[in-house]
Amino acid sequence: MIVIDEKAIFQIIQERKPVSVALNGPDGMLPRVQETATNIMNRFGIPAYVLADTTWGTCDLNSNGAKVLGAEILFNIGHTINMSSFEKNVFMIDAFDDVSFDGVAAKCAEILRGKIISLVTDSQHLNQVDSVKSILENNGITVKIGKGKGQLNDGQVFGCEFYPAMEVRDQVDANVFMGQSNFHASGLALSTNKPTYVLDPYFNEVRDVTEFALMLQRKATLSIYKAAEATTFGIIIGLKEGQISKTFALKFKRELEKEGKSVQLFALTDITNERLRNLRGIDAFIQVACPRISTDNQFDKPVLSTPQANALLKILRHENIDDYLQIPHWL
């Protein structure tokens, strides 16, 4: 069960006495966020709006939604990072999953006994890293936990950012990801180029996601080669507040024009196949928002992420693109 740190929320409201607040969190956590909003309204008698749009991470806080509503404080729930606030009125609130890893960690030990592993997880399970580490070590596995960097805590990864795992990748035989997310684990497998296992406490299973990750990479590479045949490109700037990157967009425009390509510029909040179908005369797209939009979704035309676009430029210059995803941050 997800446990939201309501105590921290109540304390902030008591201190700052806002007239209204907004809350948001990952889709799977919205029912719990609704309960917290109700608790705030009952306790303080102020409106608490649940922003029900997506919030994929700290790159997608939707603080504009809170501003439009006139909510003085936004509580972004469930994206634990090593910072507690953004600007003056966006507070990051912990929400940890209290599911036990004991059973699945013991299973993992049977598979990986004698190996050296890098232990990583996402925001919701950071509070259990130490206990899982102990179980694995008591069962003959050597555990490394890479250091955090930027917004990442020690042992934490995002879907596009893998610094802790990259720090220890040359010292380990495999990655072990605590949680249910094949999404995080597959990125981890590709950036580190190591066998990667998911420790799923809900299904009580240890999943090897290495082959799934390689399938994603093959699809991403095929898109790059298809895009290399394009003459007209659409470059898309994402309008989510933490994903906006005009600099990269304009850099790709310049570089592609040098290679004789035509370029149009677009901006979108949600980059979906349906939205792109409205745009005519474009052979291939490059989107400089979230890299996983390109690697994890299906599009009618090639839609490259930033690392794929860098690889495309290399292909156009007849350079090697080996290892283009083996970087700590896919931007």
Any idea which residue has 């599911």 for tokens? Answer: 99
The nearer residue to ligand SF4, 57 or 328, going by C-beta atoms, is 57
The nearer residue to ligand SF4, 143 or 165, going by C-beta atoms, is 165
The correct pick among 36, 123, 153, 243 for binding ligand SF4 (CB under 6 A) is 243
Q: Is 177 in the site for ligand SF4 (CB under 6 A)?
A: no
The whole-angstrom separation of Cα 201 and Cα 135 is 14
Buried residues in 259-294 as b, exposed as e (16+ CB within 10 A)? eebebeebebeebeeeebeeeeebbbbbbbbbbbbb
Interface region with ligand SF4, contact rule CB under 6 A, candidates 55-63, 142-150, 208-216, 314-322: 55-63
Q: Where are the alpha helices (DSSP H) in the chain?
A: 6-16, 30-44, 63-69, 102-112, 129-138, 163-168, 182-192, 210-227, 246-258, 273-276, 291-296, 306-316
In angstroms, what is the minimal distance from the CB of 187 to ligand SF4? 7
The correct pick among 292, 306, 309, 328 for binding ligand SF4 (CB under 6 A) is 292
What is the sign, positive or negative, of the torsion defined by CA atoms of 14, 86, 292, 94?
A: negative
The correct pick among 159, 164, 234, 328 for binding ligand SF4 (CB under 6 A) is 159
In angstroms, what is the minimal distance from the CB of 240 to ligand SF4? 8
In angstroms, what is the minimal distance from the CB of 143 to ligand SF4? 25
The correct pick among 18, 25, 26, 57 for binding ligand SF4 (CB under 6 A) is 57
Interface region with ligand SF4, contact rule CB under 6 A, candidates 98-106, 130-138, 141-149, 152-160: 152-160
Q: Is 160 in the site for ligand SF4 (CB under 6 A)?
A: yes
Q: Which residues, 6 or more positions from 97, have their beta carbon under 8 angstroms from its beta carbon? A: 1, 2, 3, 124, 125
DSSP 161: B
Q: Is 56 in the site for ligand SF4 (CB under 6 A)?
A: yes
- Residue numbers at the binding site for ligand SF4 (CB under 6 A): 56-57, 59-60, 158-160, 243, 290, 292
